Amino acid sequence: MGKQQTEMLKGVLEGMVLAILAERPAYGYEITARLRDLGFTDIVEGTVYALLVRIEQRGLVDIEKVPSEKGPPRKVYTLGPEGHDQLTEFWSTWKFLADRIDTLQPKGN
């Protein structure tokens, strides 16, 4: 979709990953695939991994290494309490933003 989407993803991608992890624990490769399924076909692997490193360092997730039969061991991320808090805040910020933007939409008037 181009540069527009890239910029719009900033700050939103983290929330999406947290939301995915809220459904159930998952590992990086899986999360990337999930995002692609969602429609973000151009999402870059490196972006997701870097993001996971960040949210790990902020203590939002717990990590467990699980051996895989098909490759290197998986790093399975589980949402911790602080991650849940962050996700809650994400939803509230998102709603705020989405509401204001709706008011700017021509159809909204």
Partner DNA sequence: TTCGGTACCTGGTGTTGCCAAGTACTGGTG
Partner DNA sequence: CACCAGTACTTGGCAACACCAGGTACCGAA
Pick from 45, 64, 85, 89: which binds DNA (CB under 7 A)? 45
Rounded to whole angstroms, the Cα distance separating 86 from 94 reads 12
* Burial call 21-34: b when 16+ CB within 10 Å, e when fewer: beeebbbbbbbbeb
* 33 contacts a second copy (rule: CB under 8 A): no
Q: 90 contacts which partner out of DNA, a second copy, none, CB within 5 to 8 A by kind?
A: a second copy
Q: How far is the CB of 63 from DNA (least distance, A)?
A: 9
Nearest to DNA of 28, 83 (CB atom) = 28
Residues forming the site for a second copy (CB under 8 A) = 1, 4-12, 14-16, 19-20, 22, 38-40, 89-91, 93-94, 96-98, 100-101, 103-106
